Amino acid sequence: MDTSIGMNQAETKAGTTHSISQQSFFGHPAGLSTLFFTEMWERMSYYGMRALLVLFMTLSLLDGGLGLTVASATAIYGLYTGAVYFMGLPGGWIADRLIGGQRAVWYGGIIITCGHILLAIPSDSTFFIGLLFVVVGTGLLKPNIGALVGQLYGTNDERRDAGYTLYYMGINIGSIIGYLVCGWLQVNMGYHWAFGAAAIGMGAGLIQFRLTHIKLEGEGTAPSQPLTRNGRRTSYLGLGAAVAAMALLTYLVLDGQIIINPVLLAQYVALTIAAVFVAYYVSMYLFAKLDSEEKKSLGALFLVCLASIFFWAGFEQAGSSLNLFARDYTDRIIGDFELPTAWFQSANSFFIVILSPFFAALWINLSKRLINPSYGIKCALGLVIMALGFIVMFFAAQVAASGMQAAPYWLVATYFLHTVGELCLSPVALSAVSKLSPKRFAGQMMGVFTLTYSIGNVVAGLIAGNFDSENIQQMPSLYMQIALTTIGAGLVILFFAVFTNSWEKLIKQQDPEAEPASA
């Protein structure tokens, strides 16, 4: 559901200690409650609004939407979600070098709130400006609030993993609230009321953060690696120039002086980010003076990165093609009540909450029995399980192609399989980055891994653009193509993971602090 960018970055400060006796929030530091509820409300606003984007953009002008084609709307959706992850890179840098984590969370939340307010205004211009605000604000808030969670704990505090589990629960509770509230408002009051509710949610998170930030006990108030005075001046000038350039470009586009093809732009962006990812990886491998074991670890990690790209390209159909299928081809009537389209996406969050404890126990029990598959094998398994969800959609699309409305359980089954796949891949992939990255490049490699989310999301938007609501007969074959491509990628990764399995075991044996891959 949510991969929590930055969760493993800069989690502790050297020498930071906290009293184990401080048990103000379910046995954890009091500051965890501040971050828990701030993130809960931010995710409520993000997912509640995100669930409606494609629906609103493809809605006809007469009905109050933007009247965009499916290809354009899903391309914009992919660019938006991909940019949210990409902006976490500069967002983390700004906090570490300029303003500190707390200010990054605060200012990011303000920018997000302004973005949702702009989305609530019934205007095409303010809609796209609002999306830009949400992208920038989320880039500031998301990576740094995850890092602040880790900073609440001392280096050897055994409560850390449990603390992140609580934090992750806050993410999913917030997303459930967002789907339910914004989905209901969209049906009963209109899209802009739903966007306004997202603004209220983020506003509530900001108020809560401001009133309780003292519980953080000063963590994140200052940058961890501050620049010199000249460095700060140069950085602020650069940031100001970037904002001015973005404002000018936005004005020219909205004024019609520059015409942008969303599909073509998404293609170029996907290729550009992929090129950056490959170039960085190759340069790290060739020029970073790595020893043979570190090169092997990067090779094993590369399989995880590939799995992540393919996974999110499929998983993120939730907000695009699957969302449109729920609206147009699913029987949403239960008695006298019509299920809001956005509510189907909440199934993922419900399944995450229910299944997470089971999977945590599963990996631990397998490890105790000395059955501990490699990172690559686990990720390949998650990829294949997620692909099975699209085989379910193949049969659901056949029902729709026959002229009938598909039963809602088809989508619920798909989201169940996608959630199982996510729990096999997402936390394991984050653990792989922290364990397999060369220690002196751990932070950089987490940033590079974040690019896989961006690539996957942009590609997901391009894939969804192939679904033509006027040609329902082609839909079953399109879902089957996604399934077969993803299964094929999973099998290829599984094949190579058999060879890299011995590399991972050697790395873990050399690391006395290495933990099972179930972190």
| Residue written as token pair 């404890």 | 357
Measured from the Cβ of residue 287, the count of other Cβ atoms closer than 10 Å reads: 8
CB atoms within 10 A of CB 195: 28
How many angstroms separate the CA atoms of 76 and 45, rounded?
19
pLDDT for residue 6? 41
Confidence at residue 157, expressed as pLDDT on a 0 to 100 scale: 74
The length of the chain, given as a count of residues = 519
Return d(Cα 86, Cα 184) in angstroms, integer. 31
Angle between helices 292-315 and 375-401 (to 10 degrees): 20
Q: CA Rg, the chain, in Å? A: 22
d(C-alpha 367, C-alpha 196), whole Å: 47
Environment class of 519 (CB within 10 Å of its CB; exposed 0-12, middle 13-18, buried 19+): middle
Token output for 517? 């891959």
Residues 6+ apart with CB under 8 A from 197: 48, 181, 182, 185
DSSP 447-501: HHHHHHHHHHHHHHHHHHTT--TT-GGGHHHHHHHHHHHHHHHHHHHHHHHHHHH
d(CA 305, CA 447): 12
Three-point CA angle 174, 175, 176, nearest 5°: 90
Mark 218-240 as b/e (b = at least 16 C-beta within 10 Å): ebbeebeeeeeeeeeeeeeeeee
State pLDDT tens for residues 272-306: 999 999 998 888 888 878 888 888 888 888 999 99
pTM across the whole model: 0.86
The dihedral sign for the CA sequence 55, 59, 64, 67? positive
**How far is 97 from 238, CA to CA, in rounded Å?**
14
- The answer for residues whose C-beta is within 8 angstroms of residue 507's C-beta and 6 or more apart is 293, 296, 297, 300, 435, 436, 514
Cβ neighbour number for residue 510 with a 10 Å cutoff:
9
In angstroms, the Cα distances linking 8 to 12, 217, 309 are: 10, 21, 19
What do you get for the CA distance between the two ends of the chain, in Å? 17
Q: Which residue has the tokens 């009537």?
A: 333
Distance CA 328, CA 345 (A): 15
To which residue do tokens 């590369």 refer?
A: 302
- List all residues 6 or more positions away from 164 whose beta carbon is below 8 Å from its beta carbon: 4, 7, 149, 150
Please tell me whether residue 438 adopts helix, strand or coil conformation: coil
Is 227:98 a contact under the CB 8 Å cutoff? yes
Q: What six digits make up the tokens of 270?
A: 């996907």
> In this predicted model, what pLDDT tens digit does every residue of 214-237 receive, in sequence order?
998 888 888 888 899 999 999 999
| pLDDT value, residue 121 | 94
* C-alpha dist (Å) from residue 166 to 8, 169, 217, 293, 443: 15, 5, 20, 35, 24
| Residues in the chain with pLDDT values less than 70 | 1-23, 155, 161, 363-364, 367-372, 442-443, 502-519
Residues near 381 by beta carbon (within 8 Å), at least 6 away in sequence: 373, 424, 425, 490, 494
pLDDT at residue number 513 = 43
* Per-residue exposure over 16-47, b if at least 16 CB sit within 10 Å of its own CB, e if not: bebeeeeeebeebbbbbbbbbbbbbbbbbbbb
Closest CA to 139 of 291, 242, 275, 286: 242
Residue 268: per-residue pLDDT: 96
**Spatial distance between the Cα atoms of 86 and 293, rounded to a whole number of angstroms:** 30
Give the angle subtended at the CA of 277 by the CAs of 274 and 279, to the nearest 5°.
105
Can you tell me the distance from the alpha carbon of 400 to that of 396, in angstroms, rounded to the nearest whole number? 6
Coil, strand or helix: which one is 68?
coil
How much is the pLDDT for 15?
41
- Please state, in angstroms and rounded to a whole number, the distance separating the CA atoms of residues 142 and 139: 6
Quote the CA–CA distance of 186 and 202 in Å, as a whole number.
18
Q: Which residues pair with 334 in a beta bridge?
A: 337
Backbone angles phi, psi at 470, to 5 degrees: -85, -10
